[in-house]
Structure 1
Amino acid sequence: MKNVSQAAARVYAQALFDIGLAEGSVGQIYDDLHAVFDALNGLDDDLLTFFYLPQFRRDEKRRILTLAFEGKIGRPVLGLLNILVEKRREPLLDNVVEEFDQYVDQHEGRAQALVVTARKLDTELLAALQAALEQRTKREVVLTETVDPEVIGGLRVNVGDRVLDGTVRRRLQDLRRSFAAIQR
């Protein structure tokens, strides 16, 4: 889901974020959005299908969403859900949450970083990496670690739209390309 859908999700997230800034309720909107996201993802497959598939009537979906969430979440997020249903853009919800989280992180001076390694890093190394990333980005960094044996060794760090790839796998790929270019 990129391009047009991602751009649409960004517009909805920006609108929610702007409302939150204007009303001083960014934190509440964040909580409400995540509560809805968690509730929908906790549904069994039949109910989730009902929410996402366009074959079901919009008014029925809005009625069920109102019954499920009215009084439990604020007006901005309930309004977003109704707009997504009305425009048949329910599948964008996951991306709206992701985009909204990015606006909140940026506003609060945080950066999300994904660290991919061949094996789990020890706590000291993670702390050193986090400190180095915070110094480089001038932001608080929230690290998420993922283990992927296919990287072979080294690490890959994704911070926002930047990728720092120091994996053995990438180095081997670079060598293959170099050898292939020489053989031509």
Structure 2
Amino acid sequence: MAALVAKRYATALFQAVQESETTDAAAVLQELKGIRQAIHEVPAFARFFASPVVGNREKKQFITELFKEKISPELYHFLMILVDKRREASFEGMVHVFGELTEALENRMEAVAVTAVPMNETAQASMAASLSTLTGREVTLTNQVDASIIGGVMVRMGDRVIDGTVRNRLNLLKEDLTQMIV
């Protein structure tokens, strides 16, 4: 349910930005990320923004004082609607969906390669090029290290996961052996 709400609201904001002649989706995405960062870095702001006890009037006044002159009109009105509809809890998901829509518009995509050891720049560039060919988009690849995967690589691109890790292959082998024994 929360994912559906996030998608619906982010799509509405994205369409409003597309219809605007003065606002750019990439700029709004940066504004959204800035607000998200403020929520993460200031716990009091996060509690205030998400609290059902705080009234809409107080939240709107706070948003107006803090953001009105610093963000695009479309985003400002969007935040007001979130408060009116009490959808503040879905804000994080909305930022994520808006980011995906903006990347699709710009024919870009972010991907994460999870490996047991850090990838060197050459391997990372090669994998990014391969993923770009696979998706037809310009892929920006970041590397995360997780020693528990033992070896191989797991790639996350949007909703897609390509799992070529040793841990995954061992789990599949274990399942196969368990079914043979039973």
Q: TM-score range by the shorter chain?
A: over 0.9
Give the length in aligned residue pairs: 180
- Partner Cα distance (2:104, 2:78) in 1: 22
Query: Which residue number in structure 1 is paired with residue 34 of structure 2?
Result: 35
Task: List structure 1 runs of 4+ shifted beyond 4 angstroms.
Answer: none
- Partner Cα distance (1:120, 1:28) in 2: 32
Contact 2:6 2:90 in 1 (8 A): yes
Q: Give the SS at the match of 2:113.
A: strand
Does residue 9 in structure 1 map to residue 6 in structure 2? yes
Does residue 131 in structure 1 map to residue 129 in structure 2? yes
5+ residue gaps, structure 1, are none
> Residues 50-92 of structure 1, C-alpha deviation per residue, up to 9 Å, x if partnerless?
1111011111111111111111112111111111111111111
| Matched letter for residue 44 of structure 2 | D
Contact 2:115 2:147 in 1 (8 A): yes
Bigger mean CA deviation after superposition, 136-145 or 26-35: 26-35
5+ residue gaps, structure 2, are none
Q: TM-score, normalised by structure 1?
A: 0.93
**Pairing 1:144-183 to 2, within 5 Å after superposition:** 144-183=142-181
Deviation at 1:150, TM superposition (A): 0.6
Q: Give the SS at the match of 2:118.
A: coil
> Residues 19-59 of structure 1, C-alpha deviation per residue, up to 9 Å, x if partnerless?
1111142233223222222222222x233211111011111
CA RMSD of aligned residues (A): 1.2
Q: TM-score, normalised by structure 2?
A: 0.94
